[in-house]
């Protein structure tokens, strides 16, 4: 990845059969600021690489009426793509992100991602998409309770 590339926009496009990213996706966040000791007002970003597989949000059918979230709704979909990427890779390179000009700037650091950090990212990103606190909490605690085996499976494959 060339750090001199500055994305001014990005979009999500999936192959209809395989559910993988067809392009690199730049995801901006402030979820990891505390972990790397930078002020909360600074935005960072990471790149979910092309060909990353994702299933969107894996919300159990019984939870959809309670949470009022469709697995492909905009309040959860981008968050779930980033979350899937974090679970699989478990290490990312963070960059400074200029949210006003929509550009990626200097590389900050490489960051090892724990399951809790990935789950917190999901909750934070849902907040940016205007998901209600009830929706964010249902998803966050559902991940904390039910998805540790998935995270550990990816850890063992490293």
3-state DSSP assignment of residue 78:
helix
Length of the chain: 158
Residue 10 lies in a domain: no
| Mean of pLDDT values over 10-36 | 75
Report the C-alpha gap between 119 and 131 in whole angstroms: 15
- Is the CB of residue 45 less than 8 Å from the CB of residue 94? yes
Backbone phi, psi, residue 3, to 5°: -70, -10
pLDDT band per the 50, 70, 90 thresholds, residue 93: very high
- With vertex at residue 8, the alpha carbon angle to CA 7 and CA 9, rounded to the nearest 5 degrees, is 95
pLDDT tens per residue across span 30-87: 999 999 999 989 999 999 988 887 777 777 777 778 778 777 777 788 888 899 899 9
- Say what percent of the chain tops pLDDT 90: 32
The answer to whether residue 12 sits within a structural domain is no
Q: 59: closest CA among 73, 49, 43, 48?
A: 73
Q: Is residue 89 part of a domain?
A: yes
Give 8 or 41, the one with higher predicted confidence: 41
Residue 92 lies in a domain: yes
Residue 9 included in any domain: no
**Rounded-to-5 percentages of helix, strand, coil across the chain:** 35, 20, 45
Domain count for the chain: 1
Distance CA 102, CA 85 (A): 21
The region of weakest confidence among 24-28, 79-83, 148-152 is 148-152
Q: Which two tokens stand for residue 46?
A: 């990471």
Identify whether 17 is part of a domain. Answer: no
With respect to residue 115, please indicate whether it lies within any of the assigned structural domains.
Answer: yes
- Indicate the DSSP class of residue 53: B
Q: Considering the domain boundaries, does residue 93 fall inside one?
A: yes
- Tens of pLDDT, residue by residue over 107-138, are 999 999 999 999 999 999 999 888 889 888 88
The pLDDT of residue 45: 93
Helices (H) and strands (E) in the chain, counts: 5, 4
Residue pair 69/135 in contact by the 8 Å Cβ criterion: yes
Choice between 17 and 70, residue whose per-residue pLDDT is larger: 70
φ, ψ dihedrals at 92, nearest 5°: -135, 160
pLDDT for the residue numbered 110: 96
**Structural domain range at position 99:** 25-152
């Amino acid at each position: 990845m060339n750090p001199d590339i500055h994305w001014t926009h990005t979009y999500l496009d999936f192959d209809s059969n395989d559910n993988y990213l067809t392009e690199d996706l730049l995801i901006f966040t402030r979820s990891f600021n505390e972990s790397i000791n930078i002020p909360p007002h600074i935005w960072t970003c990471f790149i979910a690489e092309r060909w990353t597989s994702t299933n969107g949000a894996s919300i159990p059918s019984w939870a959809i009426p309670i949470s009022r979230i469709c697995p492909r709704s905009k309040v959860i979909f981008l968050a779930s793509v980033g979350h899937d990427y974090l679970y699989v890779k478990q290490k990312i390179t963070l960059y400074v992100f200029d949210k006003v000009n929509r550009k990626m700037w200097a590389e900050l650091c490489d960051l090892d991602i724990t399951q809790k950090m990935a789950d917190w990212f999901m909750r934070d990103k849902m907040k940016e998409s205007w998901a209600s606190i009830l929706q964010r909490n249902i998803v966050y605690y559902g991940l904390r309770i039910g998805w540790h085996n998935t995270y550990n499976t990816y850890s063992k494959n490293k």
